[in-house]
Each structure stands twice: as structure tokens, then as C-alpha cells.
Amino acid sequence: MKHVTSGGGWPAMWYTLRKARQAGGIWKLYKAMRSRNACKTCAVGMGGQKGGMVNERGHFPEVCKKSLQAQVSDMQAAIPEDFWRTYSIAQLQKFSPRELETRGRLVQPVLYERGQQYYRPISWDDAFTRLTRKLKQLTADETFWYFSGRSSNEAGFLLQLFARMYGTNNVNNCSYYCHQASGVGLMSSVGSATATLVLDDVEHSDLVFVIGGNPPSNHPRLMTTLMHVRRHGGEVIVINPVIETGLVKFRVPSNVRSMLWGDAIASLYVQPHIGGDLALLTGVAKRVDEMGAQDETFLRNHCEGYETWLARVRATPWSEIQEKSGVTQRDINAIAERYAGAKNAVFSWTMGVTHHVHGVQNVQAIANLALMRGMVGRPNAGLLPIRGHSNVQGIGSMGVMPRLRDTIFNRLVEHYGVTLPTTPGLDTLGCMEGADAGQLKFGFCLGGNLYGSNPDAHFAAQSLSRLDTLVYLNTTLNTGHAHGLAAETIILPVLARDEEPQPTTQESMFNYVRLSDGGPRRLEGPRSEVEVIAHLAEQTLGSQGPLDWRSMHNTGTIREAIAKVVPGFEPIADIDRTKKEFQIAGRTFHQASFPTPTGRAVLHAHDLPDLMSDGDQLRLMTVRSEGQFNTVVYDEDDLYRGQDRRDVILMHPEDAARLGFQAEQRVTVRNETGVMENILVRLYPQIKPGNALMYYPEANVLVPRRVDPRSRTPAFKGILITVEAKSPRPAPSNA
Ligand SMILES: Nc1nc2c(c(=O)[nH]1)N[C@H]1C(S)=C(S)[C@@H](COP(=O)(O)OP(=O)(O)OC[C@H]3O[C@@H](n4cnc5c(=O)[nH]c(N)nc54)[C@H](O)[C@@H]3O)O[C@H]1N2
Ligand SMILES: Nc1nc2c(c(=O)[nH]1)N[C@H]1C(S)=C(S)[C@@H](COP(=O)(O)OP(=O)(O)OC[C@H]3O[C@@H](n4cnc5c(=O)[nH]c(N)nc54)[C@H](O)[C@@H]3O)O[C@H]1N2
Ligand SMILES: [Mo]
């Protein structure tokens, strides 16, 4: 397959036309894309009342392939009824993620019962009766409630409230596999868990760090901003073990000059080892200190922990920094010099930073470096975790986490007189382990693919199989429906955001709350998430309790409740009347006053983790291709990395030569967690030697259940593997 030499550009445009054909014509797709609904893919924040394809600075047109893919997926025809009689569970298990996704939209509730070979359609009434009966039999802490970041604030708020009034804190979201380390790290450093700036600040900065992320693929609309920074004479420093094509050069489709010639993005590209960032960031800080370029006044007036941290940085030898980061002194100095010369620096990062056992420390190290030069707490500079799902941040704000924030807890009790549990709840992996141990009997998944997103896929299937009942609220089929099967498994089909009968709201990563109008349903059958949750709650808890669940079918009533109990969300109460979107107060720091107990930001000292690997092992990252959205695969190819298939391992030619492999050779990849056979070796000079790349979710059979103790996020990057010439040996006992 041809390897493109820039991101975006004509391939993206052709793709749009092809997708438009699938969606029934360009006009139909354009109308759907322009409807006033928040974009369905990543959390950069688009659409809403300004209409689709408009960014947070009001710029139009902004489109990306991902939003087209998501839109066209929702515009698919219904899965026909005979599908469920035609394909057995065993056959569904043979389907690839892409084959499942492209079967069409889910339109009727279906039930699988252990011992049967097939799912079978059931009525909504039957589904509700089964669930209610089960919930009445169980004690609350035998259940768990998982949320993806795709649902609305209203659905998220309502379901977590129901789960807690039912009596459990086993409430969590996909963030535990995503940006939880950012939330925990930022909270410990600056007292707030989200981005400290707005999009306009990034546009006006003169240095942007892009650490451990692949925005050309995963946050394409951010590329316009990076292009602007470069055109204003600013710098972009990329820190990534892989040279990602679109981070070198990108053609922004909405810009003529960019389309024709392309825009250089990275002004400096540095390749650490997978997991080498903490060492590298410490090295940059050490060099900035040697140069005397820190902002002493800021550190003295607005920070604590500075002396301890600095002493540790100074005591860390250069040799250790170089060895553990895999970066040369020259490169470290080059980063430090550019940073020392910058007036306004923005630090952005994604999964290359959080998916490690030291994920929280990575985030703290980024904050340390920013604080060192006073880059937090003023305009045009700051900290920017580039969030994943379109509403993952809103789901968090709504209290979808095991421990409800005190303010929300107290206000719920005060305003609604409800009784809420105080027993500790389980995080996402905790629930999987609880299920495996037989302590949990019932799981409820609002969107997402809990099976497919988990580390250790064999364990995930086994753990879910120990549940009595598992419920999935989804729009399309995914691998969870085939492999994540409890004794009784029910799939409930729901409406997508732009098909909702009532308005809903979402929150972007820059802390904007925006309104989605909803729209006409495309298919008969699916129900609104809010309606399903309110109905289940009423049937389970009865209509006599402190909360009138019937009124909660109305998203306006839910917003009134959100306005009363969630701090910063007061204006949401009449957003559908005023149409005034708003930014959540207290989250953007243009002044150096931090919501920590002392009002000061905190610097944290760290020991550098060892880069594990011995001799013949490689360090593996499991990542997304350009053609997928998480566990949903739209296209088998990865345009930007020049791959035409997914069952591949990308390794540096030097490693291949050292280990005795050739391009296109079939190999077995294994470690203590699992085995993957028949994998194709692809030589990939763009990856740093010693490291390898495979695609998630297929490679999850190799991901151990090793988590960051503070954020409970698994290390989806930095997995030790051995690669062997194809020779089937028995699998390890736990696989
Ligand atoms: N098209 C598309 N868009 C998406 C998604 C999608 O699947 N598809 N998913 C959404 C979600 S939920 C999320 S969380 C985001 C994910 O967005 P990303 O974080 O960009 O996603 P990954 O594919 O995990 O890519 C990780 C990047 O980090 C690099 N990396 C790996 N290990 C390390 C390391 O140790 N250090 C450093 N510095 N870099 C490393 C990899 O080379 C890769 O470029 O995207 C969101 N947007
Ligand atoms: N090895 C490895 N594993 C990883 C990662 C990695 O980088 N490597 N990344 C992790 C990350 S960052 C994340 S966020 C998780 C992803 O975890 P999840 O959020 O659990 O998974 P998704 O694949 O995004 O969910 C896909 C499903 O969402 C459903 N869906 C789409 N739209 C809607 C909607 O409007 N409502 C409802 N109810 N359902 C909808 C569709 O049915 C689709 O099948 O995976 C994690 N797992
Ligand atoms: Mo994510």
C-alpha cells in the first residue's frame, strides 16, 4: 500500500465523497453534518448551536474523516430480523470488529441465554421485566454500571443517580482506561482535573508540545490550530517514539494553501522509548535549571514543593536520564532551549502519556515543567489533556465515578431528600475483577464496548461470563456482543445523539457545555437512552420514592436537577430556551490562583522508572489506526502508517535484522498474558528501535492487567513481548 507523505489532503477529500455515496448522497450527509448537534467523535468540541462543522473559535468549515465515519455509521440501514436467526454466537465471534460494525443499526432488543446458540429478538417489555426482576433479587453491590463517553450529560446524570439510589457506588466510565491519569495528575498539581485553557489560548501560543498523541488521526481538527501556530512563527515540539506522518506535514482540507503545499507541523521531533517520557521531561527540566531559565518569582509566589522537586531533579544523573528516556543529550538540550525561549507554551498530551503504570507521574512531570516557567495561570499558555470521546468529560462532570464529589452528594441529599450509599465503589478494572471473583452478578453498560476496551481479552471474556446478567445499550454491534457474554445477555438498541426526540447537552475538552437539538429518528425501534433509563428506574424503584422518575423522561427536568447539584452547571437549567452555550466557571486559569487547599500549584518529585526489556524482548504499544474509532473499525487500512491490514507488527528494520525476521514474515507474538499467531512483520523505520506497534483492540490479548496504582489505568503502552518465527507452541495456562 502506498505510504502517504502528509496527513489530511486529497485522500481525506476523496474519502468524504465515497462516504457521502454510502450515506445516500452528499446533500443528505452535509445536512446531517451541519445539524445542530455536538460532533459525535472526539472531545475537541464542535457543532452544537452554531451548527455542525464549526469550531470553538467560530471557524467554518471544520470537518474530519472521523466525524463523517461516525455519521455514516449512524445512517446505516437496520440489521434485518433474520440476521439473528442466521448467525450463531460462534459465527459472530468469527466476525472482525469491522464486520460487526457494518452489519447495520441495532433496532430491536435481543436476548442471549447460556446454552442457546443464537441471540433472539425480545420485546422491550420483556427486556424491562427481566432486568427489573433481576435487580429486585440482587443486593446493590452485586451490580456495576459502566458508561462510555458517547452518551449525553442527561443520560449520564440520570443513570448514575439511579445506580446510587438503587444502592451502589460501582459506577465508572471509560476514563479509567483513558485520561484518568490526567485527571488525577492535574488535580494533584493544579487542583482542577481538566484543561486549564481554551482553544484561543492555544492559537496564540508560540510553542505547543504534543506528547504521546497522534492528532492527525485522532483529533484532526486540532491540526488547523497547530498549522496556525506554525504560520505565526511558533514552534511545535512532538515527543513520540513513532514519527507519525501527519505530525510532520499536514494538508488542512479547509485551507487552500495547505491543501496545495501542505503545512510543516513539527519544528522538532524527538523520539523517546515507549515509557521514556518521565525521564525525558525530567531531563528537560534539569537543563532548563542549568540554563537558569526558570521563573523564580512565579515559583516562589504561586507554587509549593519546588525545593524538594528541584533537589531531586538536580540529583538525577544525566546518564540515568539518557538511558531511561532513550533520548540523546543533544535532543534534550534542543527541547530545553526552545522552551526557555518561548513566551507562551502549551503542553498537550494523550494516551502515550497516560497508558503507563506511571501515568499520573507522567502528567505531574508535564505540569512540573510548565510550572517551572510559570506557564499555568495566564493567557495563551497552559495544560491541555486532549480528551477522547465527545462527551467523556461531561460524563465525568455528571458524577459518573465511584466516589461522588462531596458537593454533588450533599446537594442531592439536600434538594431531593434521597438516600445515597457511602460504601466504596469499584473502578472499571475493579468491576471486571469483582465479576471474575463472582462478587458481581449484574452489569449495565451505557454505550461503549467494555469487553473490547479491556486489557487481557481472555480474562475479560471469562470475567463477564461469570455474571448472571449483562445489559448493553448500543447503536451498532461490536465485539463485546460476541465475546462478552453473561448467562443472560441483553442488547438494547438506542438512538444516536442527532436522533434524540429532545435536546441533550455535551461538554467539550475546553469545558464548554453545548446543546444538541436532536432530530428525527432514522429508524423505527431504537429508544432514547434517557427514556430507557427513566423507565428502568421507575420499574425498579417504584414511583413512590423521593424522585419522580416519570418526570425524568424529560431532559429539561434532568437539566434542572443538574443545574441544582453540579457546581458550575447552573446555566444549564434553561439552555434549551436561551440557546446560550456556556463555559464551566472556575476551570480556565488565566490567573495564577489555583483551587488547591493552599491556593498554590504543587510540584511533585519522582524516581525514574526502569525501562523494562531484556535482550530479545520488544516494548509494545497498542494504538489506533487511522481507520478506526476505538473498538469500532471502519476501514482495515491505516493510511498514515501505510498499512493495508491490521494483523501486523511494526518494528524497526534494525530489530528485525537483530532478531532474524524479514518483511512479511509470519510470526508469533507472545508474553505472559497471551499469544497472537500468524502476525505479519512489517519493517517500519519510523519507530524507535527496541519498540514495536500493534493495533488495539485485537492486540488486547497481549495487554497484562498492570495498572497505575493511582489512576487505576492499565498500561496499554509499554508491554513486553517476544516475537518468534511461526512455530505453534502451547499457549500459557492463563490465556
Ligand atoms: N479517529 C479516531 N479518533 C479518536 C479515537 C479513535 O480511536 N479514532 N479515539 C478517541 C479516544 S477515546 C482517545 S483516548 C483519543 C486517543 O488519541 P491518541 O492518544 O492519539 O491515540 P493512540 O492511538 O493510543 O496513540 C497514541 C500515540 O502515542 C504514541 N505513544 C505510544 N507510546 C508512547 C510513549 O510511551 N510515549 C510517547 N510520548 N508517545 C507514545 C503513539 O506512537 C501514538 O502516536 O482519540 C480519540 N479520537
Ligand atoms: N489495548 C488498548 N486498549 C484500549 C486503548 C488502547 O489505546 N489500547 N484505549 C482505551 C481508551 S482511551 C478507551 S476510551 C476505551 C474505549 O472504550 P469504550 O468507550 O467502551 O468503547 P468504544 O469502542 O468507544 O465503544 C463503541 C460502541 O459504542 C456504541 N455507541 C456509539 N454511539 C453511541 C451512542 O450514542 N450511545 C450508545 N449508547 N452507544 C453508542 C456503539 O455500539 C459502539 O460499538 O478503550 C481503551 N482500551
Ligand atoms: Mo479514550
What is the secondary structure of 464-530 as a DSSP string?
HHT-SEEEEEESB--HHHHH---SEEEEEEB--GGG-SS-EEEE-TTSEEEEE-----SSSS-B-HH
Q: Are strands 207-211 and 171-173 parallel, antiparallel or unpaired?
A: unpaired
For residues 70 and 122, state if they share a domain: no
Total number of domains constituting the chain: 4
Amino acid symbol at 289:
D
491 CB-contact burial (10 Å; exposed 0-12 / middle 13-18 / buried 19+) = buried
- For the chain, the average pLDDT equals 93
Nearest CA to ligand 1 atom 44: 214
Q: Are 207 and 252 within one domain?
A: yes
- d(CA 13, CA 202) in angstroms, rounded, equals 26
Residue 498 Cα, ligand 2 centroid: separation in angstroms?
A: 19
**Which cell goes with 370?**
510548565
* pLDDT one-digit tens code per residue, 345-373: 999 999 999 999 999 999 999 999 999 99
Domain-embedded: residue 629: yes
pLDDT value for 49: 60
DSSP secondary structure letters along 198-266: -HHHHHT-SEEEEES--HHHH-TTHHHHHHHHHHTT-EEEEE-SB--HHHHEEE-TT-HHHHHH-EE--
Q: Which of 531, 470, 444 is nearest to 158 (CA)?
A: 531
The residue whose C-alpha atom lies closest to atom 2 belonging to ligand 1 is: 218
475 Cα nearest atom in ligand 2: 42
- The backbone torsions φ and ψ at residue 485, rounded to the nearest 5 degrees and listed phi first, read -110, 125
Q: Average pLDDT in the 25-47 region?
A: 74
Cell, residue 479: 465485539
- pLDDT at site 2: 56
pLDDT score of 622 more than 60: yes
Peptide bond preceding 697 in cis form (omega within 30 of 0): yes
CA of 352 to the centre of ligand 1 (A): 6
Domain residues for the domain of 515 are: 105-177+391-567
CATH number at residue 233: 3.40.228.10
Nearest ligand by distance to the CA of 222: 1
**Residue 53 DSSP one-character state:** T
Name the burial class of residue 210, with classes exposed (0-12), middle (13-18) and buried (19+) by CB atoms within 10 angstroms of its CB. Answer: buried
Residue 236 has pLDDT above 60, yes or no: yes
Instruction: Give the model's pLDDT for residue 735.
Output: 41
407 and 471 share one domain: yes
Asked if pLDDT for residue 251 goes beyond 80, the answer is yes
CATH number assigned to the domain comprising residue 562: 3.40.50.740
Residues 460 and 560 in one domain: yes
Grid coordinates of 202: 492555544
Ligand 2 pocket: which of 95, 151, 449 to mutate (most atoms within 8 A of CB): 449
Q: Which residues are CB-contacts of 432 (< 8 A; sequence separation ≥ 6)?
A: 450, 454, 459, 460, 463, 464
In CATH, what number is assigned to the domain containing residue 684?
Answer: 2.40.40.20
pLDDT tens-digit readout, 411-438 = 999 999 999 999 999 999 999 999 999 9
Take residue 44 and report the three cell numbers written for it: 475537541
Which residues, listed in sequence order, are joined to residue 209 by a DSSP beta bridge? 237, 347
Identify whether residues 414 and 526 lie together within a single domain: yes
Which of 28-42, 199-213, 311-325 is predicted with the least confidence, judged by mean pLDDT? Answer: 28-42
**CA distance to 102, 374, 378, 381, per residue, from 592 (Å):** 50, 9, 7, 12
Q: In angstroms, what is the span from residue 217 Cα to ligand 1's centroid?
A: 8
Q: List residues bridging with 621 in a β-sheet.
A: 693, 717
732 or 198, greater pLDDT: 198
- Number of the ligand 2 atom closest to the C-alpha atom of 480: 44
**Same domain as 148, residue 189:** no
Name the residue at shortest CA distance from atom 19 of ligand 1: 351
pLDDT for the residue numbered 526: 98
pTM (2 decimals)?
Answer: 0.95
User: What's the rounded mean pLDDT across residues 93-108?
Assistant: 95
Q: Which of 418, 390, 24, 384 is nearest to 190 (CA)?
A: 384
Least confident of 62-66, 275-279, 395-399: 62-66
Q: Are 490 and 124 in contact (CB under 8 A)?
A: no
Ligand 1 lining (C-beta closer than 6 Å): 41-42, 66, 178, 211-214, 217-219, 239-242, 244, 272, 274-275, 277, 350-352, 388-389, 621, 623-624, 628-630, 717-718
Confidence (pLDDT) at 48: 59
CA of 351, nearest ligand number: 1
Helix, strand, coil share of the chain (percent; to 5): 40, 20, 40
For residues 306 and 370, membership in a common domain is answered with yes
Tell me whether residue 219 is in a domain.
yes
- Give the number of the atom of ligand 1 that is nearest the alpha carbon of residue 247: 44
Rounded CA separation 479/360 (Å)? 30
Please indicate, yes or no, whether residues 645 and 695 belong to a single structural domain of this protein.
yes
Q: Is residue 2 part of a domain?
A: no
Taking only the tens place, the pLDDT of each residue in 553-581 is 999 999 999 999 999 999 999 999 998 98
- 347 in any annotated domain: yes
pLDDT digits (tens, 9 = 90+) for 280-333: 999 999 999 999 999 999 999 999 999 999 999 999 999 999 999 999 999 999
Report the residue among 37, 174, 471, 490 best suited for mutation to probe ligand 2: largest number of ligand atoms under 8 A from its CB: 174
On the 0-12 / 13-18 / 19+ scale of CB atoms within 10 A, 112 is buried
Question: Which atom in ligand 1 lies closest to the alpha carbon of residue 66?
Answer: 1
Whether residues 518 and 647 share a domain: the answer is no
Neighbours of 339 (CB within 10 A): 25
What is the C-alpha to C-alpha distance for residues 61 and 34, in angstroms, rounded to an integer? 10
Query: What would the mean pLDDT of 495-510 be, rounded to a whole number?
Result: 93
Stretch 234-239: mean pLDDT: 98
Domain shared by 377 and 399, yes or no: no
